[in-house]
Amino acid sequence: MTFLSINRLSVSLRDRCVLRNVSFEVGAGECVGLLGPNGAGKTTLMRAALGLIPYEGESSIANMVSADRARMAAWMPQTREIAWPMTVERLVVLGRIPHMANGQRPTAKDYEKVNAALAAMDLDRFRDRTATRLSGGEQVRVLIARVLAQDTPLILADEPVAGLDPAHQISTMQIFSELARAGRSVIVSLHDIGLAARHCTRLILLSDGGVAADGPPGEVLTLDRMAEVFGIHAFYRDTEDGPVFQPLKVIE
Amino acid sequence: MARLAIGLTAVTVVFFVAALTLGPAPIGPVESLHALIAGDEGPLTLVMREIRLPRATLAVMVGASLGLAGAAMQGYLRNPLAEPGLIGVSGSAALGAVIAIQTGLATSMALGLPAMALIGALVGVTLVMALAGPRGSSLTLILAGIAISALAAALTSLVLNLSPNPFAANEIVFWMMGSLADRSMTHVWIALPFMGVGWAMLATLGRGLDALTLGEDAAGAMGISLKRLRLTLVLGTASVVGAATAVAGAIGFVGLVVPHILRPLVGAQPSRLLWASAICGATMVLAADIAVRLILPERDLKLGVVTAIVGAPLFLHLIYKTRRQLA
């Protein structure tokens, strides 16, 4: 079953071509890592796929009625915004908005999803704390919990693990890959190629607004390609503890 | 939450009854209310029905409008310093009213002044929407609002500048301070349809404003149409604030201070702040109007002056408290 189908998607922002003819499909059970240097078009690709910015080509979820799309795909933007000093629990309940009518109170089922999301992000003891007074990494976890509470088949997250400590980086990626194993799909952009190699089932490498490579981590992360796209020498090995990727130095 | 709603409403009712029954003549509240409800041809019934009832009703309507619009505007802009006047509607409504006074339309035609103020508000909001552009961005809305406010203020000054005699200028300046004195039920009926429509529009914003807590992008992805949200906000605010300015003049600080005071009490959730601010705004204007009548009854103290005198220090206190929390 296909959750997202992108066909010849192009985006121009201020007459500058940011994405050119990108096509791919994401099916159930995939945890897709979106890699690429700064400015490669990762954020633009996800925002266009969701229909948040004007685009040419086709995206299967951008065409949907916005209320239906909100129950199909959840989006975690890169800008971590929490405008008001609300409690963690209330903020996570906001993720249930697409499932509630205007003015409706959250039901027991909504709270069930919220509690599961809080537990998954290790936030139980923060439930009644004011979200804006938490540390940056804790706020990121709250925002990921909000996305989980939206309970959609497809999750798009823009650099969700940036700013988290190593333990929470790993546990967040594990949650994403568990969701994928349970039949959902996750598309996550990130700069930590090592994390992507270990936790994603598939990597899409963007470079200069196009897809440079698309496939299982082992096939995408070749040393030649790392040199070409990122300009780095790297170490990549399949060990008995899983794949290990470490950037070593910049190619002069 | 229900307790807060009941508490706020009870306070409003107390102030409403006080506004109806307090007066210069030594008449008890029970007698006054009896004259209002049962009624006869006597002077007390006339005073209650033709003077105090419209005045207290308008105080509730104007206060609820300003509180609601203030909470909506702060929620939309995600900024506790936003206020309903930000989109230029109160400024352009005031300009319309000032032109009505200057041209004599206010005296030659019954309801000439509120009608002109409403037209001013309509022109203002049309210009703001045209300037702000079709996309749902908040930044262009603020910029357009500031531009229209500045233009309306400049034109108001021009009218004052060209005023033929000091009496007209005096009348304009006093009108701009805002007041509920000598209003009739006609003013209630002219404002009510606009406010009713505006209240209904602003009341639908709760869900969208809640989602906006997470930013415009996240709200858009949660199925909130930012374009429609902004249009509803601007039209609703224009409707209630235009009508409020038309019947009461410019009354500042209510839309700014009331949401700010209530925010901690509703857990900072924008949707809850909407109704709470509407109720509490009504109380604040009722209280200010009672103060106007009690403190210097012979000097015709202006309502807008009192709300500003009370509101500004209150606001300073809130800033001080916020500063301490941030430190």
Residue B207 sits at the chain A interface (C-beta within 8 Å): yes
Measured from the Cβ of residue B168, the count of other Cβ atoms closer than 10 Å reads 18
CB contact under 8 A, B213 and A98: no
Distance from CA of B129 to the nearest CA of A (A): 21
ipTM greater than 0.85, yes or no? Answer: yes
Of B210, B217, B263, the CB nearest to A97: B210
CB nearest to A82's CB, from B206, B213, B222: B213
Cβ within 8 Å, pair B222-A76: no
CATH entry, B2-326, from 1.10.3470.10, 3.40.50.20, 3.40.50.2300, 1.10.3720.10 = 1.10.3470.10
Inter-chain residue contact B269 with A79, CB threshold 8 Å: no
Which member of B204, B213, B217 has the closest CB to residue A52?
B217
Minimum CA–CA partner of A102 in chain B: B207
**Residues 250-279 of chain B whose Cβ lies under 8 A from any Cβ of chain A:** 263, 267-271
Q: Is B137 on the interface with A (CB under 8 A)?
A: no
Q: Is residue A219 part of a domain?
A: yes
Q: For chain A, give me the number of helices (H) and strands (E)? A: 9, 11
Cβ atoms of A57 and A6 closer than 8 Å: yes
A243 in a domain, yes or no?
A: yes
> Does the distance separating the beta carbons of B213 and A66 come in below 8 Å?
no
Within chain B, which residues score under 50 in pLDDT?
none
CATH number for A237: 3.40.50.300
**List of chain A residues whose C-beta atoms are within 8 Å of the C-beta of residue B212:** 83
Determine the distance in angstroms separating the CA of A100 from the nearest CA of chain B, rounded to an integer.
9
pLDDT for B327: 61
Chain A residues at the B interface, defined by Cβ less than 8 Å, are: 47, 50, 52, 66-67, 69-71, 73-77, 79, 81-87, 90-91, 94-95, 97-98, 100, 102-103, 143, 146, 150
Per-residue pLDDT at B136: 61
Q: Is A237 helix (H, G, I), strand (E, B) or coil?
A: strand
How many domains, chain A?
1
B263 interaction partners in chain A (CB closer than 8 Å): 84-85
Of B212, B223, B268, the CB nearest to A69: B223
- Taking an 8 Å cut-off on Cβ atoms, the answer to whether B223 and A98 are in contact is yes
How much is the pLDDT for B106?
81
Task: From residue B65, give the alpha-carbon distance in Å to each of B69, B210, B263, B286.
Answer: 6, 20, 17, 13
**B204 in A contact zone (CB under 8 Å):** yes
Q: Out of B212, B215, B268, name the one closest to residue A79 (CB).
A: B215
B269 with A90: Cβ contact below 8 A: yes
Give pLDDT tens digits for B133-156. Answer: 777 678 888 899 999 999 999 999
Give chain A's residues under pLDDT 70.
none
| Residue A186: inside a domain | yes
- Report CB contact under 8 Å: A79, B225: no
Where do the domains of chain B lie? 2-326
Give contacts of B214 with chain A, Cβ < 8 Å: 77, 81-83, 91, 94, 143, 146
Size of interface A-B (CB pairs under 8 A): 84
Q: Are residues A70 and B270, on separate chains, in Cβ contact within 8 Å?
A: no
Q: Which residues on chain A are in Cβ contact (under 8 Å) with B210?
A: 94, 97
Residue A37 lies in a domain: yes
Mutate to test the interface with A, among B74, B135, B217, B262 (most CBs of A within 10 A): B217
What is the three-state SS of chain B?
Answer: CHHHHHHHHHHHHHHHHHHHHCCCCCCCHHHHHHHHHCCCCCHHHHHHHHHHHHHHHHHHHHHHHHHHHHHHHHHHHCCCCCCHHHHCHHHHHHHHHHHHHHHCHHHHCCCHHHHHHHHHHHHHHHHHHHHHCCCCCHHHHHHHHHHHHHHHHHHHHHHHHCCCCHHHHHHHHHHHCCCCCCCCHHHHHHHHHHHHHHHHHHHCCHHHHHHHCCCHHHHHHCCCCHHHHHHHHHHHHHHHHHHHHHHHCCCCCHHHHHHHHHHHHHCCCHHHHHHHHHHHHHHHHHHHHHHHHHHCHHHCCCHHHHHHHHHHHHHHHHHHHHHHHHC
Look at residue B326 in the predicted model and tell me its pLDDT.
67
User: Which of B137, B222, B224 should be substituted to probe chain A, the one whose Cβ sees the most A Cβ atoms within 10 Å?
Assistant: B222
Residue of B73, B214, B226 to mutate when probing chain A, most A C-beta within 10 A: B214
pLDDT score for B94: 92
Closest CA in chain B for residue A80: B214
What is the domain range of residue A219?
Answer: 2-83+152-250
Q: Return the residue of A nearest to B213 by Cα.
A: A83
